[in-house]
Chains A and B, each alone.
Chain A
């Protein structure tokens, strides 16, 4: 998974705290996607962003979750007032611009644990 960098790899938060997950896409990739994997489940789409724009947030919970991909710096997935059910692995993926479908390449994820 060279290129898509996620940090931290592990994050522990207490209920009610905020969690910030960061993702730097592969060089040359301008499309970023966030997915969540709950235990024993597949990955579920959350949000698709391009620089400074949210393109599709149909998988984002309506409250407490937000995402951004600023002009400079990494993409951030922010979870406010975390609850036990937010415990999961959060994966970021990126793809390059261009015509035709470009497979997404994934980072190694952030494992979020809520105490």
Chain B
């Protein structure tokens, strides 16, 4: 039962343009969502998060949007840079329910020159 889904295994974007990574979830009890970035042979690095009481959170070039009614969130990166090339994981949790993270399967982003 995949409760967090990232339906695009890969995405290719030109440098300077916007990257949009999507994530869907099925468990309406999730109330906190995170994005992690992962390079090969390294652990995931926390990027940005959003609480279910908000619909947008911004941090520099990264913005996360949450649409609770659609159970959908997205990560926008603008402008995209070659160093952004990595696998991006969406994760969700139920705060107060042990804080364990449920991850999607990841999207490989490639930013081309």
Partners in one complex: yes
- Measuring CB to CB, which residues of chain A are less than 8 angstroms from any residue of chain B? 1, 4, 6, 31, 33, 35, 40-45, 48, 55-56, 58-59, 91, 93, 95, 100-101, 103-109
Query: What does the 1/0 interface line of B41-58 toward A look like (CB < 8 Å)?
Result: 111111001010000000
Decide if B85 is an interface residue (CB 8 Å cutoff): no
Cα distance, A49 to B42, chains bound together (Å): 22
B105 touches A56 (CB 8 A): no
B-side contacts of A107, CB under 8 Å: 43
B46 touches A42 (CB 8 A): no
Q: Determine which of B42, B93, B104 lies in contact with A101 in the assembled complex, contact meaning CB atoms within 8 Å.
A: B93
Q: Determine which of B46, B51, B95 lies in contact with A104 in the assembled complex, contact meaning CB atoms within 8 Å.
A: B46
A-side contacts of B42, CB under 8 Å: 1, 108-109
A36 to chain B, nearest CB (A): 11
Given A31-B99, A104-B101: A1 in contact with B34 (beta carbons within 8 A): no
Decide if B102 is an interface residue (CB 8 Å cutoff): yes
A61 to chain B, nearest CB (A): 16
B93 touches A56 (CB 8 A): no
A-side contacts of B95, CB under 8 Å: 100-101
Q: Determine which of A4, A41, A42, A101 lies in contact with B43 in the assembled complex, contact meaning CB atoms within 8 Å.
A: A4
A101 touches B99 (CB 8 A): yes
